[in-house]
Structure 1
Amino acid sequence: MVASAATAIFLTILLVLIHRLSKVGQRPKGYPPGPPTLPILGNIHLLPKEKGHLQFQKWAEEYGPVYSLMLGTKVMIVLSSDQAIKDLLDKRSNIYSSRPEMYLGQIISGGFRMLLMEYGETWRMIRKIVHNNLNIKASRTYVPYQDLENKAMLMGFLQTPNLFVDHIRRYTNSLTTQMIFGFRTTSIDDPKLKQLFHGFEKFCEVTGTQTAALLDVFPFLRYLPDALLPMRRYAKELHSKEYDLYVGHYLDTKKKLRDGRAKPCFCVDLVKAQDEEGFSDGIAGYVSGSLLEAGSDTTSATLVGFVQALMIFPGVVQAAQAELDTICGERLPDLNDLPNLPYIRGCMKESMRWMPTDILGVPHAVIRDDEYMGYKIPKGAGVMWNVWAVANDSRRHPNPREFDPTRWANDHQTSAEAASNSDPTKRDHFVFGAGRRLCQGMHIADRSLFLAISRLLWAFDFRRPVDETGQEIVPDMADLTEGLFVLPKPFKAIITPRNTAKAECIRHEWAKTEADLLDDELQWKVVPDGLIWKDYEPAETE
């Protein structure tokens, strides 16, 4: 009898497990529509290894602006219209501002990266610190940094134009190291500069792999040893290097601040907050490091995409230069010219629409059950905002793969104004996120893009290279890197000064800047007036 009862219990448990397992991967009734599923896998077998944004766009065309993907034990809701993004991520941001679990991403980040943090007290504390340093009032004080680094970039283009990607990256990185840590990055060969971009590229690649997806949707796979999970072993190696870079930057600046040797910077507020709140050097290092990667990568990737657009659409060069010559003549453009340069403003907006760096967004997560358009959205679901599909919706943007700055002739909004516009159809692009995850550095990025685009086109001609047969080489706009954030794969461009007068103007401007503002190590002699930070003062309890 005992044996029979035990057998019955075992069979009952087995049947329950089989029944529950049979439901894994199925799309429950009431969920948004989506591709047909397979048992256990759901739709995970349909996720492409590369160019995933194109498949996600096709699904949007087939299943509508809100569809679902069943990924093993998880569900991903995909928003592919400006209205859906506004309605959920913006208007319901109180429940749509968390993050789904990204196992390998968190291993690389040590659980410290703000980008991947769940919505909670730690995230809100960090967000407040960041807001105080990147709000619109604070961002105006960084203009001298932007102007100086832009002139240094122009000199780089003049001296070694074939290394234009490196000069762009140094431009955005040095601006950010000044704001965050108080020092300039003076060389395109700086090892920490190279490590930052290499490390972030690998972070994006790893988090976009099928291995990462499998470990997220089938958590039991995480029990496998590293020998059977080489991607996890690699993620740990990336974290070790990344931790040393980010926390090393922070601890070095922290020591200099306390010794009175560092220039005022964001770390002043971060060290004060650490004194008061007692959070770890790991968190502090990743707060400053996350700002460093955000300020360095997104703007530089957008500018690389813009240079590629000039290779594919040479008419943009002529149109932009005609406007610049009319308004600026023989002087360098500056920020005061922005209202009078509508085509250049269009180039900025079109760059972020045409080649969005966060091509599928970084998924949000909903923290409680919700309903939208009659569909159930379950607690814990990932919510993807399909940046590529919205940017390439032909009803929103006719002929979307054409780089056309005139689309924005009557749009005078900044990125921040467009993002907060109550009419979602009036939002220009979705590169900077949505809701409470909206990038707080938008004002700074807008200015950096304007200065770079206007001055590069004012000073230089951009032409296609030719092959051995004399045929022009046109880059493939679809040839992008893979991962969470993207940019064009390497391409060549012929960049030359428009004339000797403009080349001499660049040399003169840089020589004057160097003599007036920089010391023998090319660091600021005295920081610009008006910065929001003061010298570091230790807490009284120290």
Structure 2
Amino acid sequence: MVWPLDTRFALLLSISVAAAVLVDRLAKKRRGTSLPLPPGPKPLPVVGNVLSLDSKEPWNTYAEWGAVYGDLIYARFLNQDVIIINSEKIAKELLEKRSNNYSDRPFIATREPFGWTFNFGLTPYGDEWRLCRRLIHQTFRADASLSFRPMQIRKAHQLLNNLLDDPINYVAHFQTYGASIGMSTVYDYDAAPRDDPLVEIVNRALVLGIKVMTPERAVLLSAFPFLARLPSWFPGATIKRDAVLSCKYIAEMIERPYEYVQKSMAEGTAAPSLVSEILKRMEHEENDRVDQLEKALKQTSSTAFAAAAETTSSALLFFILAMVLNPDLQQRAHAEIDAVVDAGRLPNFDDRPSLPYIEGIVRETMRWQPVIPMGAPHATTNSDVYEGYFIPKGAMIIPNAWAMSRDESVYPNGSKFKPDRWLDEDGKLTNAEPPVFTFGFGRRICPGRYTADASIWAGIASILATFEFSKAKDAQGKDIDFVPTFSSGVGRHPDPFPCSIVPRSTRLSAEKLAQLIRTSA
């Protein structure tokens, strides 16, 4: 007997629905609860929701899901439970108020093959992480970070000098600025203003790992772990070849600056720094304790300066992009600086409270384009229940900072760069909380956030005091229009774009401004 097509379709649909119900019941039984998981897109067999992701910019996919399913979403990557948080409120409720259960890190398959075990920010929650956190807190806590301010201003002035001499290579100058601040705080290494060999090492070391250290990019290696064991010469073994290179560069990034401090200490020329202070302590420790401390110190120091190099330079690139796309905003910024800062000097941190519009630009830069759109993923230590939804033990928790930055209830017209959103009618800063989601949540919040904030402010204030930005012009004198493109991985930054960077000449002649910049640097 041959059943009619519509009957067969109805039968197939009924079987599919029954199978789905059975699978759901079995899953609930396995979880030991009848509570529902948070809503989310229907996962496919085996692969889950992996094929639905924008692999380059998954935060966009998560934001789109949020528009359909809400701010707390369940998805599955292969056999990994995933909870996406698109709301800052929910992120604080879970990752901060319940931090004892949400401070772990999930397994990221690319971490070890690419040599990123050095990054203690990705280390599972436990004694190893606590030791690293204690070491870094001593140097980067709020009051201790104040001691870096003279150095940060000096590095900002070196940045100005580089932009004055060679504006075309602005990307390299921002990379040098971020890396040199990180290396100064961690190793007391005074990087050369340009083409410093240790700065080049860190830039080279990070480029491969940043692209693959996200959970979404690591899925391929999770599904096919044999790819990491293929010989590097094997056809198509791109992952293996990149991993070998990454490990080589990372090892150099960790050891070379560390050896610099050891040599300086042996010669009696070392100044106080994170590494030198801990090395002095280690002289009085037992041998087994020394090994443990040295490992933690290398993890802490390399993580700190690598993070500073990547995030600071990316934030400044987004700032320049905002200025080029919104040239009208510069006039108000220039006017505020001119009213507060004397013509014969450059801004310093004492001026910060008197420059609310510049503060608005700093905050808006970090909100408008979060340099780490999803932060580092968290993981649950135990199962949990939130608002009637079940959150499984071992679930990967992704706080989608990108979606938080576009929350229309908090940031109306969120895709637009609007420093005024941080100011009241009198031009003073509002009581609104700065975009802290850019630094993470709970116990895993970025320990270097105070130093990073100060570095970004010093760079932005110094640049606005001395330069104007606009679109580059072609041979006929017409603006060169462009559509921004972005490179992404763990972090995100704009690709190089055509722009004009010229000295301001409102209060000082070009010659006197150049002299001020050079003498300050």
TM-score range, shorter chain: 0.7 to 0.9
- Paired residues, number: 482
Other-structure match for 2:315? 302
CA distance in 1, matches of 2:240, 2:281: 33
Other-structure match for 1:257? 265
- Inter-CA distance 67–134: structure 2 relative to 1 (3 Å threshold): same
Task: Find the partner of 1:404 among 409, 413, 418.
Answer: 418
CA distance in 2, matches of 1:231, 1:346: 42
SS for the counterpart of 1:105 is coil
SS for the counterpart of 1:141 is helix
Task: Find the partner of 1:359 among 373, 377, 381.
Answer: 373
- Inter-CA distance 223–361: structure 2 relative to 1 (3 Å threshold): closer
Other-structure match for 1:517? none
Q: CA deviation at 1:503?
A: 4.6
Task: Find the partner of 2:238 among 230, 236, 239.
Answer: 230
Task: Find the partner of 1:390 among 380, 396, 404.
Answer: 404
- Unmatched runs of 5 consecutive residues or more in structure 1: 1-18, 419-424, 515-542
Other-structure match for 1:12? none
Task: Find the partner of 2:329 among 316, 333, 338.
Answer: 316
Other-structure match for 1:201? 207
- Inter-CA distance 103–395: structure 2 relative to 1 (3 Å threshold): same
Cα contact 1:310–1:317 (8 A) shared by 2: yes
Q: CA deviation at 1:470?
A: 4.4
Q: CA deviation at 1:50?
A: 2.1
Task: Find the partner of 1:56 among 37, 42, 62.
Answer: 62
Q: CA deviation at 1:372?
A: 0.9
CA distance in 2, matches of 1:509, 1:338: 20
SS for the counterpart of 2:75 is strand
Other-structure match for 2:3? none
Range that drifts further, 167-176 or 431-440: 167-176
Cα contact 1:207–1:484 (8 A) shared by 2: yes
CA distance in 1, matches of 2:301, 2:77: 34
Cα contact 2:104–2:378 (8 A) shared by 1: yes
Other-structure match for 2:304? 291
SS for the counterpart of 1:68 is strand
Other-structure match for 2:291? 279
Q: What are the superposed Cα offsets for residues 456-478 of structure 1, whole Å, 9 maximum, x if unpaired?
A: 1111111111235544234434x
SS for the counterpart of 1:108 is coil
Q: What are the superposed Cα offsets for residues 155-181 of structure 1, whole Å, 9 maximum, x if unpaired?
A: 111111111122222222222211111
CA distance in 2, matches of 1:185, 1:480: 28
Q: What are the superposed Cα offsets for residues 43-79 of structure 1, whole Å, 9 maximum, x if unpaired?
A: 1111223222221110111111100111111011000
Cα contact 2:55–2:217 (8 A) shared by 1: no
Other-structure match for 1:337? 351
- Inter-CA distance 223–431: structure 2 relative to 1 (3 Å threshold): closer
CA distance in 1, matches of 2:215, 2:96: 29
SS for the counterpart of 1:145 is helix
Other-structure match for 1:47? 53
Other-structure match for 1:75? 81
The residue type paired with residue 302 of structure 1 is A
Q: CA deviation at 1:33?
A: 1.1
Q: What are the superposed Cα offsets for residues 490-532 of structure 1, whole Å, 9 maximum, x if unpaired?
A: 1121011112826555554555556xxxxxxxxxxxxxxxxxx
Q: CA deviation at 1:110?
A: 5.2
Task: Find the partner of 2:249 among 241, 253, 256.
Answer: 241
Cα contact 1:363–1:382 (8 A) shared by 2: yes
Cα contact 2:360–2:423 (8 A) shared by 1: yes
CA distance in 2, matches of 1:220, 1:322: 58
Q: CA deviation at 1:343?
A: 0.8
Structure 1 residue 325 corresponds to structure 2 residue 338: yes
SS for the counterpart of 1:77 is strand
Task: Find the partner of 2:363 among 321, 337, 349.
Answer: 349
Cα contact 1:349–1:429 (8 A) shared by 2: no
SS for the counterpart of 1:103 is coil
Q: What are the superposed Cα offsets for residues 118-174 of structure 1, whole Å, 9 maximum, x if unpaired?
A: 010011011011001111111111111011111111111111111112222222222
CA distance in 2, matches of 1:225, 1:115: 28
Q: CA deviation at 1:220?
A: 5.7
Other-structure match for 1:443? 450
Give the structure-1-normalised TM-score. Answer: 0.83
Other-structure match for 1:88? 94
Alignment of 1:478-517 (within 5 A): 479-499=485-505, 501=508, 503-504=510-511, 507-509=514-516, 512=519
CA distance in 2, matches of 1:49, 1:286: 29
Cα contact 1:357–1:486 (8 A) shared by 2: yes
Give the structure-2-normalised TM-score. Answer: 0.86
Task: Find the partner of 1:147 among 145, 148, 153.
Answer: 153
Q: CA deviation at 1:114?
A: 0.7
The residue type paired with residue 404 of structure 1 is K
- Inter-CA distance 261–413: structure 2 relative to 1 (3 Å threshold): farther
Q: What are the superposed Cα offsets for residues 359-417 of structure 1, whole Å, 9 maximum, x if unpaired?
A: 12210111111111111111111100000001012221111111110011149889xxx
CA distance in 2, matches of 1:409, 1:382: 37
SS for the counterpart of 1:111 is helix
Cα contact 2:486–2:494 (8 A) shared by 1: yes
CA distance in 1, matches of 2:275, 2:65: 44
The residue type paired with residue 82 of structure 1 is E
Cα contact 2:265–2:276 (8 A) shared by 1: yes
Cα contact 2:105–2:378 (8 A) shared by 1: yes
- Inter-CA distance 383–61: structure 2 relative to 1 (3 Å threshold): same
Q: What are the superposed Cα offsets for residues 4-62 of structure 1, whole Å, 9 maximum, x if unpaired?
A: xxxxxxxxxxxxxxx9xx969x9756111111111111111112232222211101111
Other-structure match for 1:5? none
Q: CA deviation at 1:104?
A: 0.8
CA distance in 1, matches of 2:267, 2:492: 40
Cα contact 1:363–1:384 (8 A) shared by 2: yes
> What root-mean-square deviation, in Å, do the aligned CA atoms of Structure 1 and Structure 2 show?
2.6
- Inter-CA distance 252–195: structure 2 relative to 1 (3 Å threshold): closer
Other-structure match for 1:379? 393
CA distance in 2, matches of 1:86, 1:219: 35
Q: CA deviation at 1:95?
A: 1.4
Other-structure match for 1:368? 382
Cα contact 1:320–1:344 (8 A) shared by 2: yes
- Unmatched runs of 5 consecutive residues or more in structure 2: 1-18, 29-34
SS for the counterpart of 1:467 is coil
CA distance in 1, matches of 2:387, 2:41: 18
Cα contact 2:204–2:249 (8 A) shared by 1: no
Q: CA deviation at 1:284?
A: 3.0
SS for the counterpart of 1:78 is strand
Range that drifts further, 203-212 or 173-182: 203-212
CA distance in 1, matches of 2:256, 2:248: 11
Q: What are the superposed Cα offsets for residues 309-339 of structure 1, whole Å, 9 maximum, x if unpaired?
A: 1111111111211211222241312211111
Q: CA deviation at 1:107?
A: 2.4
Alignment of 1:106-117 (within 5 A): 106-109=112-115, 111-117=117-123
Sequence identity percentage: 29
Q: CA deviation at 1:223?
A: 7.7
CA distance in 1, matches of 2:144, 2:429: 19
